[in-house]
Every structure is written in C-alpha cells, then in structure tokens.
Structure 1
Amino acid sequence: MKVDFMKFHKYRVVFYHLLWWFFYIFYELSSVYFAISELYLERYFSYFLVNVLLFYTHMIILNRTRHLIRARFFKVLLLIILETLVFLAIKLLLDYLYSNGNGLMFSEIRQFIALDFNRNLFFAALATLFWAASNISVFERKAKDAEIKQLMAARDNLTLEASLARSQNALLKQQINPHLLFNSLNFIHSLVYNNSPEAAQNVILLADMMRYGMEETDKDGKILLAGEVEQIHNLIRISQARFEHKNKVEFSVYGAIADQRLIPMVLITLVENVFKHGDLRDYPATIKLVLNQPGKLKFLTSNRSKAKIPFARLRSTGLENIRIRLDFTYGPDYTLSTREDDGFFEAELNIPL
C-alpha cells in the first residue's frame, strides 16, 4: 500500500505539472494570436520545449546544491552562468534555423540575443519561485528541527548543571554534617577532659578525617583510593574507642589500591551506616574492598541490624546523597544495591576506576 501511494503521489505531481504547462501555453498562444492574428505553432513549440527544459534544469541545479554549505553561492552561480550560455546558444541555433537559410544580420543577432536572454531569465526566475514554494515546508521543518536541537541542548545543559549542583550539595552535606563524627567528637571531648592518652589519639584521627572531608578534589572530582581507605581505618578506630572496643568489625582489602581514584566520602558513608545502624557487639560486621578485576572496584558491607529499631536504611540521607553523586560521576556504569534478609543488612557497590 505504501508503494502504491507513492506512485499515486508521483503521478499526481506529473499531472499537475502537465496541467500547469497546458494552461500557460494556452495563455501565451492566446495572447500572441490576439496581438498579431497569426500563430507559428512549430516555431513556438520548439522554443517552448527549450524553455521547459531550462525550467527543470534550473530546478535540478537548485535541488542538487541546496545542501552545500561551503562555496555554495559560487558553485550555484557558476552552474547558472553555464546553464544560461548553453540554452542561449540553443536558442540562437533555432533562430538561425528559422531564418530560412538567409542568415542573420548583426542587428538581428543582437535583438535575438536580448529576446532569448530575457526569456531565459524569465523561466529561470519562474523555476526559482516554484522551487522555493515547493521547499518552503522543508525549510520550515529544518528551522524547527534546529530550534528543537537548540532547546534540547539548553535543556541538557540545565539538567547537567542541576545534577552538578545536587552532587555538590550532597557532598557538602556529607562534609558539613557528618553525623557519626559529631557524635564521636562529643565522646572524645569527654576523654580529653579526663587527660586520656587514647582520647588525644582519637582527636588526631578525627581531625585527620575532618581535614580529609574538606580537601579539594582533582578537576574530575576524584581523589586517591588510598586516602579513602586510610580514613576508613581511622573511622573504625574512632568507633571502636567510642564503644569501648566491644564492636566487632572486620575490614579487608583485596588487590592493589595504589594510583586508583574515585570520588570521596562514598565508601566512608557506607562504613558509617554500618556503625550507625548495626548491632556489632554480638555479630561482627564485615567490610570488603575488592580490586581483583582491572578497572573495577567492589565494596561490600554486611552487618546485623539493631534490634527494636525501624531499619530505614533505604531512606538514609547518606545513601541518597552518594547515589546522587554516583549518578553524576559514573552514570549507568555503577551499581549500588542494598538487601536486608533475616535481620542482616548488606550493601554492595560496584564502580569503574
């Protein structure tokens, strides 16, 4: 059905063209007959055939050159000049043939050149108007497509800026309001007050962690993985001291972490959630950092959930913040999954390095 419709459309276009030429020829012949009361049909149709060929030749030139961007004007101008000279020569040849073999005087040649050139110019202009009218919808569609592309580009830029702002805001929230660190600070303050050497050591660890959270990242927003691992050790040591070393945590690193980079405060947030929501006194928590595959990091945490406390880990602000930052930095290339089963909570993060 599609092919039949296309054929029908093609035939309809041909019919309209023939109909238009019929009325135009009828109009010109009528005008000539009323002006001089005689018609030279053979001569008229010969010239008119050349004019029709000029009309469609000009349209072909315009169609073939409309997609050109560079040097389009000069190429079109050159082709039009060549077109004009060719059809002018054809008409002069017809003028000579219809002179009954008597030849043409110089004055007659000038008259014929002027007349033929004007007719060429008329049909070329007519073809240009017809071509422009036929392609106006194409030009409008291209203009709309260009406008839509600009709007989509602007929308993408706004979306990217919004994502960046959310990512930066999420990082600032983690930097300015680290829940565990402020709770630990209150505890360490009490120990320092009692002149405890252990408290003094924990103050140093806490200061190091806070300094790490405020450090500027590289241009791509990443830091060395070794720095994140060091702060995880500091966080574990502070938390152990806070709970009198009764919390049981096993942190293991598999693979070489040197020169590997990632965005900061992501792994630390997952470890913080272990201490915040986990029951670590009777059930040890396990934390694993695995780099067995080149260019891939796997981070796993597992802990027993605290009893009698609604476990809203999936709605955790910390998790929401790191998801925002992971979305912005890694897009669809990362996965962060959480699962709670039989009172145990597990989280798994996979990101490219």
Structure 2
Amino acid sequence: MIINFITAKLSPIARKLFIVHATCWILFITYELTFVYYHVGALERPYIYIAFYSINLALFYLHIRLLNFAFTEPKSSYIVGFLLFVVIVVLYLVIKGIADNFLGNPQPARYDSHIFIRAFLPRNLARAFYFILMATFYWAAKHIAHFRRQALEAEKRQLIIEKEKAELETQLTKSRNAYLQQQINPHMLFNALNFVYNSTQKYSDDAANCIWLLSEIMRFSLEEAGPDGKIKLDREVEQIENLIAINRYRFKEPLYLKLEMKGDFSRYKIIPLILLTLTENLFKHGNLTEITSPAELKLTTNETGQLTFYSRNLKKSKNARPRQRKALGLQNIRLRMDSFYKGNYKLEINEPGEFYELTLTLKL
C-alpha cells in the first residue's frame, strides 16, 4: 500500500525502478540488522535506524548524482567534481555526528566532547566510504552495461554502413561495366549507321539525311556531360532542330509548326536531354497536321540567364481526354530538375480544350 501510494504519480519505468531499489534496500537493511542482532543480541529503537539509514541512502544517491555530473554530463569539470565530493563527505560527517549526538549514547560527552567525536568519527568515515564504494560499483555496473549497449549499437551501425558500402561498390562496378559496354556498343552502332548512310545516299538523299540526323541525336545523347553535369545549351538546341527535321521526314503530310528561338544560347549550360525530351513529347502526343491549328515551339533566353521553353499543340484524336501528368518522361524531368535546379525552375502544364500547353521557366 505504501509503495503504491508513493509510486502512484511515477511513470511505469520509474515505478519499476523504484520498486527494484526499495526491494534491494529492504533486503540489505534486513541483512545488516540480522547480523547486528546475531552478534549483539539486541537492536536499537526503530526510529534510530530510520534516521541513520536515511542519511546513508542520501549519501549513496548523492554520490551517484556526482558521478553522473563529473563523467557523463557535457562541460563537466573533474576538479569541481572532486571539490563537491569533499563537501558531500564533510556534510555527511557533520549530519551523522549531529544524529549520533542526539540519537546515540551521549554519556561520554558529559565529561569530554572530544571523546564522543573520536568514538564515532572512525565508524562514520568507514560507513561513508562503504556507501560511497557501493554507489561507485552500482554506477559503474550501470554505465558499463550502457556503454556495452552503445558499443553493440555502434558495431551494428558500422556493419550496416559496411554492407551499404559494399552494395554501393557492387553497383558502382556494375555501372562502370555498363558504361564501358555502352561505349563499345555505340561505336559499333555508329559504324553501322555510317555504312547505312553511305549505302542509302546512292538511292535516296532524304533517307540518308534522316539517318545522319538520327546518328547525330544518338551521339549527342551519349555524350558525357561536364563535371557539373551540364552541357552547352546551343548543343541541345542543335538537337532540337535535328529532331524537328527528322519528324518532317517521317510524315507524309506536311507538319505545321511555328518555331521561334531567341537568345545567345552559346553563353549558357543546361543538364542534357531536358529540352529535347519536351520537344519529342510535342511530336509524340500532338497533332501537327492541321493547318488551322499549327503547333508552337518557343525557346528564348534573356540577359539575366532565364530560359523559357513553351510548346502548344493540338491533341491527337486518341488523346482527346486529359493526358496523365505523371507520365514517365515528365516525371523523370521533374526529378532531374529538382536535383539540379531546386527552387529555380517552374514547369506548368495546361490543357485548354483540345490543346496541350507546356511552359518551362528556368534560371540557368
């Protein structure tokens, strides 16, 4: 009942800890009093033991708090900790001496006060260091277990890091192999395309020119970007023009596209294939065969380095319903733009009626 009353407002963990400590102290005090009774044959009045054990337990927990201050808290000082230790021991001896004077056997003090002090001081010092030693062992055992858990957790984290590092190294090796393979395969492909171009040129200049344009776009898509991951903007603009030319060859019907490009594209750099992918979407999803509703493509840069890409096209009949905006190509573009131009770009898509509009503004 008493323990339940005391622990009513404690958290479950604190309540459990209190019960464990209280049980241990009850067993410890019972052991000591049994030992005293066995050798002396009698015990003092209960309030005397309550007073003395309260002082001893206060020393025990004060010393634990002092060890925490000196060794675990940041910006702690060993010198300050030692001085506090001396103060706590002296204070304990003073309080214990007062308790001995009032609760002990004061007859010797009637004749000489020093006799009484000398009689109890060695015992009090021994008792103080006995409880200090117990507190130190308790603190050490608790923190050794804590440090062991920390060491195990650190070892576990290290193993996880090493595992992730090994996985990254494996992925890097695979990427390097794929990159080397990619370098070999395009070389063979371009040789084949060059042969097809030369062979086709004898029979059709248009077909040969289309092959040449295609090889240029493929060569550009495999070019390695600079250390910053970017390429010259004018190189991407060249491929946009090549892509438009290829699509003019592809279709039998004439394509109606208003193309407008303004600005000094050679001054700036951009991550590759962003504008080319947006242009490819214009041909993939748009209807460019209606003379009354021509598609539009505008690409401009200004003196402050702001690029604007705008496209507008009539939807194909099968795409009359709104297009899914989370298409893989656009989703990939958004991810790449977030990586390189976070907060410096804006990609807007509108679908007014039968038309599809896309506007990209970017700070280069």
Short-chain TM bin: 0.5 to 0.7
1:302 positional shift: 1.6
> For the Cα contact (< 8 Å) 2:197–2:211, is it kept in 1?
yes
Which amino acid in 2 is paired with 1:52?
A: L
1:257 positional shift: 4.6
1:303 positional shift: 1.4
Equivalent positions of 1:144-155 (< 5 A) are none
1:186 positional shift: 12
- CA deviations on 1:237-270 (whole Å, 9 max, x unpaired) are 3433555893222233466655543321121012
Q: Relative to structure 1, is the Cα distance of residues 279 and 352 closer, same or farther in structure 2, using a 3 angstrom cutoff?
A: same
Name 1:192's counterpart in structure 2: 201
Which amino acid in 1 is paired with 2:355?
A: F
- Alpha-carbon separation, structure 2, partners of 1:275 and 1:236: 9
Secondary structure (helix, strand or coil) at the match of 2:9 reads helix
Name 1:59's counterpart in structure 2: 64
1:220 positional shift: 4.2
> For the Cα contact (< 8 Å) 2:69–2:81, is it kept in 1?
no
> For the Cα contact (< 8 Å) 1:277–1:311, is it kept in 2?
no
Which amino acid in 1 is paired with 2:63?
A: H
Q: Relative to structure 1, is the Cα distance of residues 252 and 349 closer, same or farther in structure 2, using a 3 angstrom cutoff?
A: same
**Aligned length, in residue pairs:** 331
Higher RCO by CA contacts (8 Å cutoff, separation 6 or greater):
1
- Alpha-carbon separation, structure 1, partners of 2:262 and 2:159: 48
Please, what TM-score do these two structures have when normalized by structure 1?
0.61
1:123 positional shift: 1.9
Secondary structure (helix, strand or coil) at the match of 2:64 reads helix
Secondary structure (helix, strand or coil) at the match of 2:299 reads strand
1:301 positional shift: 1.8
Q: Relative to structure 1, is the Cα distance of residues 12 and 338 closer, same or farther in structure 2, using a 3 angstrom cutoff?
A: closer
- Alpha-carbon separation, structure 1, partners of 2:329 and 2:63: 69
Q: Relative to structure 1, is the Cα distance of residues 351 and 34 closer, same or farther in structure 2, using a 3 angstrom cutoff?
A: farther
Secondary structure (helix, strand or coil) at the match of 1:264 reads coil
Equivalent positions of 1:192-271 (< 5 A) are 192-194=201-203, 196=205, 205-240=213-248, 243=251, 246-253=254-261, 257=265, 259-271=267-279
Please, what TM-score do these two structures have when normalized by structure 2?
0.59
> For the Cα contact (< 8 Å) 2:263–2:302, is it kept in 1?
yes
Unaligned runs of 5+ in 2: 1-5, 187-192
Equivalent positions of 1:1-353 (< 5 A) are 8-9=9-10, 24-25=28-29, 27-37=31-41, 48-64=53-69, 67-68=72-73, 75=78, 79=81, 83=85, 86-87=88-89, 90-91=92-93, 94=97, 100=109, 101=112, 103=114, 119-128=127-136, 192-194=201-203, 196=205, 205-240=213-248, 243=251, 246-253=254-261, 257=265, 259-282=267-290, 283-289=293-299, 297-307=307-317, 314=324, 318-319=329-330, 321-322=332-333, 325-326=336-337, 336=347, 338=349, 340=351, 342-349=353-360, 353=364
Q: Relative to structure 1, is the Cα distance of residues 193 and 15 closer, same or farther in structure 2, using a 3 angstrom cutoff?
A: closer
Q: Indicate the larger mover: 271-280 or 143-152.
A: 143-152
Unaligned runs of 5+ in 1: 178-183
> For the Cα contact (< 8 Å) 1:58–1:80, is it kept in 2?
no
1:27 positional shift: 4.6
Q: Indicate the larger mover: 234-243 or 139-148.
A: 139-148
Q: Relative to structure 1, is the Cα distance of residues 12 and 209 closer, same or farther in structure 2, using a 3 angstrom cutoff?
A: closer
CA RMSD of aligned residues (A): 5.9
1:57 positional shift: 1.1
Q: Percent identity?
A: 31
Which amino acid in 2 is paired with 1:232?
A: I
Q: Relative to structure 1, is the Cα distance of residues 19 and 275 closer, same or farther in structure 2, using a 3 angstrom cutoff?
A: closer
